[in-house]
Structure 1
Amino acid sequence: MNLEQLFLDNKEQTIAGRYLTLDSIEPILQRLNTNNELSIIGQSVLGEPIYKYQIGSGSIKIFLWSQMHGNESTTTKGLFDFFNVLKSGSAFATQLLEKFIFCALPMLNPDGARLYTRENANKIDLNRDSQDLTQPESNILRTTFEAFQPDYCYNLHDQRTIFGVSDTGLPATMSFLAPSYNDEREINPSRLKAIELIAGINDVLQQYIPGQVGRFDDSFNLNCIGDTFQYLGVPTLLFEAGHFPNDYEREITRKYVFISLVSSFQILSENDIVFKGIDNYLNIPQNKQAFYDFKYKNIKINYDGIKKLSNFAAQYKEELIDNKIQFNAYVVEIGDLSDRFGHIVYDLEGAELSDIEDNNLELHKKADFCLKNDTKFVNGLIKK
């Protein structure tokens, strides 16, 4: 099967970019609701509806939820692309619907989505509330889990551009984790199922993004929902959608979310999990904080009257302004920086900052500056 063509044929064209709210997805949900698959199962802190979309009649029950963190929308886009496959009427769709029941909460945190924040409206990280269950959204997720009794859980997230694949210099475009179920991080039959499935997904992704798949840290924290569901005996997969070069809107990454979802269901549908122990999973390199958005090398800086070569880095901050996400670059570090790569790297070749007023390097300052050679940078990028 040509998974890239399947994506192009089923990509949901009405949503794009990073800012995805309930307003964005409600029309799609209504369009997909051709056979009473859609229901409202509760409300957020601010009274927004939380939707469940359930489809299929098979014996394998798949539970998926996205935008638990409101500013993590890439997997939501990939989820809707996959829903379009299920509604396509194709032989593949029929195969999936006869094999699986999919129960999805496509936007668990609609308040955080509207505010473009990780937390909900009460400023609580829902992914640290799986034990105390202090928030309505956390309770809805847990209640749905208990009622549905899934065979597999898919915990769908985004991660920041700072993450790379170990020390390879490649971005972690997709990362995965089979969460631990105890402090010792032991492997029981339930966790092994998640491990083997992730290894199968990785085999597929290496054909498309070789070297750009990471393995997330598996330190145990029962307050995290994935760890809780793994602890309760349900194989759980954490998806982390990350950066693809120059794809800050995550429109390329969404394709690899889609491919990951589809390939995982192909594997399960065909009972094609190859039990090779955990080696294939552990051979996926560790997800690591390894990048800045911008790295500037060899700028000459005046240190107490002595001019020395140094380096500095800038990072985009995603800011919601007039209902649009703006990527604004700020200086985040000055110094050696040899421990990190840059998605964009400039060698300033010993140039100095110009002498215009306020044209200095300061942490947390917008990355707008000029050099004495008349080169100008605006919002981190060289102005041509």
Structure 2
Amino acid sequence: MNIERLKTAFANYKESSLFGRYIHLEHIEPLLKSLSDTIEVTVIGRSENNAPIYMTRLGNGKKKLLYWSQMHGNESTTTKAVFDFINTLIAADNEISSTVLENCSLYIIPILNPDGAKAYTRLNYNSVDLNRDAQDLTQKESVVLKKVIDELQPDFAFNLHGQRTIFSAGETNASAIVSFLSAAGDQERSISPSRKIAMEVIAEMNTILQQCIPDSVGRYDDGFNINCTGDTMEFRGIPTVLFEAGHYPTDYDREKTRALIYYSLISSALYLASNTVTGDQFEAYFTIPENEKCFYDIIIREVLLEGEIVDIGVQYEEKLIENEVKFIPKVAEIGNLEKKFGHREIFGKKRAIRYYNDVVEIVREVVLPKITLDFEIFSLELSKS
């Protein structure tokens, strides 16, 4: 798939009503109502706080593809991309739509955790991480997803997430803008036939993304945890790709990352629709560097604090305040951060600082205008690490 064609498609079919980080049912229900005239939209269950969980169905092909987004309520980038993807598929004027829908049936749950999405939290209404509930099934949302999987028996699954700004693609100064994982199905992390299929699809997406974000695609850790949904899927032999929408430099609204997720959704669906994927091409998956935690949002380098030259790592904490996601800067580490990188870096030139006011003023110098930073609750615990 040519990257220029994907860029054109995204420009044509991007869902303009969805923007930024705070996406919940009130944003997508009007879209689903409109789509119901064209595609199948059903309520497949209710959340712990009785919010509807929707699923859309497109296509009539033999290959069954299952997608779910916002299992973690504050990971909304993939949900935006899902609606861009749907808009592309329902358009009758493009080769992408005809190829995918003739060969695949797509089942898409745009928000699995509507209560968490509304509260802008990773957890659900009962403060449970749904991605650690695949075995115990203590939550209604987990039961809903398992029922869909049991009844559908998908040929391929896409588990759509977002990740923090801390991740790098390897131990490098390259943000992991998009990361993928073929989850393990056992403690030995065996390379099973279903994992090979997922790995081959990931390798195809990586080939596409390298054309626009070279060296900024990461491979997420595949440590086994049977309580995780992807691990359970692989244990059952269902090829499953986990997406992690990460940080594109300066893009805290994750609109550029959204486009990259869209490219990945389109290219993977086309690949599955156009090929008998056997997993024979799985080895390219291992050329993708593993994610490392090498980034802070800001590093203030070489300042004098209490008689010692140190670096200060500042991390933003996202909080929903009056229906707006605000980024609260917090000092995360003080010391020698030579092996860490900042998405923004300030060189302090050994300037002496005096706790709160000085650090606030330094951070103010580099924040982006579009980021809402709440300095009134800037946490500054400046004890050395």
TM-score normalised according to structure 2 size: 0.91
* Distance in 2, Cα, partners of 1:377 & 1:215: 31
Which of 10, 33, 36 is equivalent to 2:36?
A: 33
**How many positions carry a matched residue from both structures?**
365
* Distance in 2, Cα, partners of 1:309 & 1:155: 44
1:104: Cα distance to partner? Answer: 0.8
SS at match of 2:27: helix
Contact kept in structure 1, 2:99 and 2:270, CA below 8 Å: no
TM-score normalised according to structure 1 size: 0.92
Instruction: Please list the CA deviations of residues 343-366 of structure 1 after superposition, one character each: whole Å capped at 9, or x if unmatched.
Output: 000001011126xx9536xxxxxx
4+ aligned runs moved over 6 Å, structure 1 = none
What's the counterpart of residue 381 of structure 1? 367
| Aligned-partner residue type, residue 50 of structure 1 | I
| Aligned-partner residue type, residue 313 of structure 2 | A
Which of 3, 7, 13 is equivalent to 1:4?
A: 7
Counterparts in 2 of 1:295 and 1:95: CA distance versus 1, 3 Å = same
Contact kept in structure 2, 1:82 and 1:262, CA below 8 Å: yes
What's the counterpart of residue 79 of structure 1? 82
Q: Within 5 Å, give how 1:1-384 maps onto structure 2.
A: 1=2, 2-35=5-38, 37-92=40-95, 93-271=97-275, 277-302=281-306, 307-353=307-353, 359=357, 368-369=360-361, 376-378=362-364, 381=367
Instruction: Please list the CA deviations of residues 290-324 of structure 1 after superposition, one character each: whole Å capped at 9, or x if unmatched.
Output: 1000000010112xxxx221111111111101101
Contact kept in structure 2, 1:314 and 1:380, CA below 8 Å: no
* Distance in 2, Cα, partners of 1:256 & 1:349: 37
SS at match of 1:381: coil
SS at match of 2:344: strand
Q: For structure 1, which runs of at least 5 residues remain unmatched after alignment?
A: 361-366, 370-375
1:274: Cα distance to partner? Answer: 8.4
1:378: Cα distance to partner? Answer: 2.7
Contact kept in structure 1, 2:200 and 2:283, CA below 8 Å: no
**Which of structures 1 and 2 has the bigger CA Rg?**
1
| Aligned-partner residue type, residue 20 of structure 1 | I
Counterparts in 2 of 1:358 and 1:6: CA distance versus 1, 3 Å = closer
Single out whichever of 35-44 and 96-105 deviates more from structure 2: 35-44
Single out whichever of 86-95 and 324-333 deviates more from structure 2: 86-95
* Distance in 1, Cα, partners of 2:353 & 2:66: 54
* Distance in 2, Cα, partners of 1:272 & 1:192: 13
1:268: Cα distance to partner? Answer: 1.4
Q: For structure 2, which runs of at least 5 residues remain unmatched after alignment?
A: 370-385
Counterparts in 2 of 1:351 and 1:115: CA distance versus 1, 3 Å = same
Contact kept in structure 2, 1:75 and 1:157, CA below 8 Å: yes
SS at match of 2:296: strand
Contact kept in structure 2, 1:329 and 1:379, CA below 8 Å: no
Contact kept in structure 2, 1:66 and 1:76, CA below 8 Å: yes
Instruction: Please list the CA deviations of residues 113-159 of structure 1 after superposition, one character each: whole Å capped at 9, or x if unmatched.
Output: 01110000000000000000000000000001111110000000000
* Distance in 1, Cα, partners of 2:248 & 2:286: 23
Single out whichever of 22-31 and 269-278 deviates more from structure 2: 269-278
1:91: Cα distance to partner? Answer: 3.7
Counterparts in 2 of 1:344 and 1:76: CA distance versus 1, 3 Å = same
**Percent sequence identity over matched residues?**
43
Q: Relative to total residues, which structure has the larger helix share, 1 or 2?
A: 2
SS at match of 1:368: helix
1:95: Cα distance to partner? Answer: 2.0
